[in-house]
Structure 1
């Protein structure tokens, strides 16, 4: 069974700029730069028939390219920080694309996503990082990085169950047009 998700790839030059956040936080497992992406919809470990149906439905998406803006570093998890992320501006274009992916996933027979969509690039997974250490890190490294790029496509990734994310394989690419 493949583990699948849809995402927007982060261009190499943006990934290299985000790599400047690496280091300086105890308990962080840093994601490899080549694995940076913005997840739109996690499909999960699904059977081959459902995977083919989802891939077909995603091919029906017709949306224009749009600008993606990274607004700055943050952490997910509140009192128990679990990830260091680069937040992405929730523009109407990215929210509508994600909502369409949600509708298509449900049409393919997958359950509804229970979490609210918060676009981001995961920079590190945190293990035993104290809220204070994360707050200090963000205080020193914070501030908007002023990064943006044009999303020209989205992809269907497969992944292997591994520690720290990746490697991810592009199973299909869908141009925005």
Structure 2
């Protein structure tokens, strides 16, 4: 059974810049820069028939427009018990529309609605045993985050292994966006 999700790839030069943020945070399990991505829609473990339906349904969205993504800050999920460090994506109407369109076509293909609010980000580390004070100290030491921008000309259907951390991720199919 494949475990699937849709997302945006991070260009190598942006991944390299993000990788310089690695290190110095207690309890961080750093994600390999080759696995950096922006998840649009987690699909989960599905049978091969559903996987084919999903891939076919996503073909309908290739008419969406290409756009720019801008990473603007470091933040975390988990509040007082931080569980992930990420680079946040600046709000972008085109990105939000693409994600919402994917949600609609995937529900029509028979998937349950995504229960979580869409918060576009690039996960940099999974945190275990990091306190909010550890994280605050790391963010203070990290200094100013220089925004990173890149064009998005396609989205992809990724598969992942059922493992801690998920990677390595494999591009199963790509869907070009209109210029």
Q: TM-score, normalised by structure 1?
A: 0.98
CA positional deviation for 1:50? 1.0
**d(CA) in 1 for partners of 2:116 and 2:165?**
21
1:41 aligns with 2:36: no
CA contact (8 A) 1:5 1:42 kept: yes
Partner of 1:91: 92
CA contact (8 A) 1:90 1:118 kept: no
Distance change (3 Å), C-alpha of 1:141 and 1:152:
same
CA contact (8 A) 1:8 1:155 kept: yes
CA positional deviation for 1:165? 2.8
CA positional deviation for 1:144? 2.9
**d(CA) in 2 for partners of 1:117 and 1:123?**
17
Partner of 2:19: 19
Distance change (3 Å), C-alpha of 1:158 and 1:14:
same
CA positional deviation for 1:161? 1.0
Q: Give aligned pairs, total.
A: 177
Partner of 2:110: 109
Unaligned runs of 5+ in 2: none
Question: Could you report, residue by residue, the CA deviation over 1:11-61 in whole angstroms, capped at 9, with x for unpaired residues?
Answer: 000000000110000100000000000000000001111111110010110
SS of aligned partner of 1:7 = strand
SS of aligned partner of 1:99 = helix
Alpha-carbon RMSD: 0.8
**d(CA) in 2 for partners of 1:87 and 1:142?**
15
Unaligned runs of 5+ in 1: none
**d(CA) in 2 for partners of 1:165 and 1:18?**
19
Partner of 1:64: 65
Partner of 2:133: 132
CA positional deviation for 1:142? 4.2
